[in-house]
Structure 1
């Protein structure tokens, strides 16, 4: 069977030739999907749980497969893995990134590694970017608000539980326990605007602080659009990281053309480090155009999230 040949090919890892990989897998579909897993913080996908994806055989007699992601609900601040490992600015620390053979073998191929890192940059600039996502988030909030209000009136009938083998899955027990202990319902607007204050439900905080020149960053405090809910636990400021270097042999994926808010030299952002994505260097363009600045000049600093707990 073709799938057996493909798994043998991955396990052997005997070639650094991109064309040989292409015979077995549509590498573009794979690299795009896995780059998005990293950028969106997908905690129930291939890297973390080997879950929520399909491989489609590209023809009855074909040896090539196409990667198809599915069910991307635990993203953008809703997680069952350790969020801090998603926020380092180094894709190799993403939970489960090196757990299975596929990605380590694939990144041994120079052309494919370069393409993966290029996709991280391109998707950061053109997709996972506040100027692109904000209108989508606003429209989504408007569309689902009445359904969320209705859903909140329904009785909670089904129990919720998660069991896992820590040797197989890179889930984080502290985050799981936090998810299971939510006794205070999170108001919809707070879940949208954040910060929420849970390990497992953080939200995505976008602020105009991202777009200030470095000389002004120290003078500005990123302010959420809504105050934290008084009944929710508050995060304490975290100490700046002493080292942000990638593991030996891995290229640091913090793209030079993107501006990184680094807690090593910007203490003003460190209080958000534990519960936001704002320390993700690959998310924020170096500079915004005047039109973008003018468009957003009248808007308050934002805290945003798409996913909410039910």
Structure 2
């Protein structure tokens, strides 16, 4: 059983009204073990102080004839069945993803980090710095327990470092892994009071056959301090590319570029990662607006040359000539591109390529000798926004925030008749077969039912970020709306949106619709704009 026993407290299991002590396991201090007979009626866990029950679970667990799994204190369930989204489009041929138990639907594992508390406090007290803390990480699944030594944990994100609840990067040492992965992220979900936006976004990406991380929930502790409910995703660092495109075996990895908007310093009067051509000098791209996330593991160039060559193509790309589509396909996987751009519009990515030229990757697939577009960090989706909501969900994708600015990848794509037609066909297909309440409702409801108790627990916890939210800048790049940005901060601090409000809507905030509210409105408006009737 997993729980935190405070000082002077002990844990026990109550079986048919008889008390049996539990002891902290040598494998993990928040896991308690012991012996008790098989229950006739049921059993529950309790916390004791000075021999008296201080707190006990207000429900009975069903009798178990075998060893109990790693149950979490005060949770009425161990594993649930969660409906899945249908597969709408086949996986892209380039995908060869490993089979892994990292993300198990219907379960929430626990991650426990044992570390020097002074180091942890230093990291949390200086959230603007890149401070790594060395830990031993224990994974507690329902049946599995695994401890990894020498795991580095540090804060992740840029603007999110001022959020009360922080996000983290995990780096597992070489020759160790967690179900095949070494680089992971713990997403705080702090901008999303529904807690499910990232989950269902990655579900949709999988349903339409696109490469992306998986997602699952995790309960996180550092030492005996519970940090709360997080989203566990894969970081696009080695061995992710091998795991996603090479089946986990020997793989000729290409270069992976990351779009960083206006860079770490937010130089609004300078260039951005909009994929504009800057000239025939690769160093012009090395200004912080792009990042080399992964270098190739072969003799291919490991600078910005290939990105430069792609932007030159994009600047000169044919649109209406007879060979336009064929030419595009030499430089980029166009099916991957149009699927991703359709998803950006449908799901309302408010901090993606089209809006803020942010949170995307361009991966050069050496086997195909062309680029692949990969999205990332999708918390601003399904009506959680930092840009104008009215423009996002009026159906006319040409009015989508950012479309009036310089966004050559999507704008030139829509100038190619075959790609525009494919884009609109995909919009209709996804709206008909996935992106509507009739299809999505059951999985959403199942997920909310699964996390409801953990959300209450998460909201009850003290936050560890010692820094107050930073003041908003006087200027932000278009189409970001300062009022929306301010409101996102306000609703995080006030924390007054219930789980059901966040799912169903309305929320009372201009920067946040309900998840279901977004789906119903956006799918209807898109189909109306495209003159589609069932």
TM-score of the superposed pair, with normalisation by structure 1: 0.63
Conserved? CA contact 2:345–2:392, under 8 Å: yes
1:56 is displaced (CA, Å) by 1.3
Give the equivalent residue in structure 2 for 1:78: 384
Conserved? CA contact 1:42–1:76, under 8 Å: yes
In the alignment, the residues of structure 1 paired with residue 469 and residue 451 of structure 2 have an alpha-carbon distance, to the nearest angstrom, of 23
Q: Secondary structure at the match of 1:181?
A: helix
1:6 is displaced (CA, Å) by 0.8
1:184 is displaced (CA, Å) by 5.0
1:101 to 396, 404, 408: 408
Give the equivalent residue in structure 2 for 1:233: none
Q: Does 1:66 align with 2:372?
A: yes
1:172 is displaced (CA, Å) by 1.1
Give the equivalent residue in structure 2 for 1:126: 433
Greater fraction strand = 2
1:146 to 442, 453, 457: 453
Q: Does 1:179 align with 2:488?
A: yes
In the alignment, the residues of structure 1 paired with residue 332 and residue 490 of structure 2 have an alpha-carbon distance, to the nearest angstrom, of 42
1:15 is displaced (CA, Å) by 4.5
In the alignment, the residues of structure 1 paired with residue 512 and residue 469 of structure 2 have an alpha-carbon distance, to the nearest angstrom, of 16
Alignment of 1:110-125 (within 5 A): 110-125=417-432
Give the equivalent residue in structure 2 for 1:42: 349
1:143 is displaced (CA, Å) by 2.0
1:205-246 alpha-carbon deviations (Å, 9 max, x no partner): 559x99xxxxxxxxxxxxxxxxxxxxxxxxxxxxxxxxx9xx
Give the equivalent residue in structure 2 for 1:9: 313
Give the equivalent residue in structure 1 for 2:394: 88
For structure 2, the residue ranges without an aligned partner over 5 or more in a row are: 1-304
Change (3 A) 1:196 1:206: closer
Give the equivalent residue in structure 1 for 2:94: none
1:94-124 alpha-carbon deviations (Å, 9 max, x no partner): 1112422122212111111111111111111
Aligned length: 216
In the alignment, the residues of structure 2 paired with residue 86 and residue 80 of structure 1 have an alpha-carbon distance, to the nearest angstrom, of 11
For structure 1, the residue ranges without an aligned partner over 5 or more in a row are: 211-243, 245-251, 259-285, 287-310
Change (3 A) 1:129 1:174: same
1:264-306 alpha-carbon deviations (Å, 9 max, x no partner): xxxxxxxxxxxxxxxxxxxxxx4xxxxxxxxxxxxxxxxxxxx
- RMSD over aligned CA atoms reads 2.5
In the alignment, the residues of structure 2 paired with residue 198 and residue 206 of structure 1 have an alpha-carbon distance, to the nearest angstrom, of 13
Give the equivalent residue in structure 2 for 1:191: 502
Change (3 A) 1:33 1:137: same
In the alignment, the residues of structure 1 paired with residue 318 and residue 517 of structure 2 have an alpha-carbon distance, to the nearest angstrom, of 44
1:169 is displaced (CA, Å) by 3.5
Rg comparison, structure with higher value: 2
Change (3 A) 1:31 1:163: farther
Give the equivalent residue in structure 1 for 2:333: 26
Give the equivalent residue in structure 2 for 1:55: 362
Give the equivalent residue in structure 1 for 2:478: 169
Conserved? CA contact 2:506–2:517, under 8 Å: no
Change (3 A) 1:53 1:25: same
In the alignment, the residues of structure 2 paired with residue 173 and residue 253 of structure 1 have an alpha-carbon distance, to the nearest angstrom, of 30
1:22 is displaced (CA, Å) by 0.6
In the alignment, the residues of structure 2 paired with residue 108 and residue 96 of structure 1 have an alpha-carbon distance, to the nearest angstrom, of 16
Change (3 A) 1:49 1:160: farther
TM-score of the superposed pair, with normalisation by structure 2: 0.38
1:157-182 alpha-carbon deviations (Å, 9 max, x no partner): 4344554854x431112212222223
Q: Does 1:257 align with 2:532?
A: yes
In the alignment, the residues of structure 2 paired with residue 14 and residue 205 of structure 1 have an alpha-carbon distance, to the nearest angstrom, of 40
1:257 is displaced (CA, Å) by 2.0
Conserved? CA contact 1:10–1:101, under 8 Å: yes
Conserved? CA contact 1:195–1:205, under 8 Å: no
Greater relative contact order (Cα < 8 A, sep 6+): 1
Conserved? CA contact 1:2–1:63, under 8 Å: no
In the alignment, the residues of structure 1 paired with residue 455 and residue 366 of structure 2 have an alpha-carbon distance, to the nearest angstrom, of 42
1:111-159 alpha-carbon deviations (Å, 9 max, x no partner): 1111111111111111211111101111110222122111101123434
1:253 is displaced (CA, Å) by 7.4
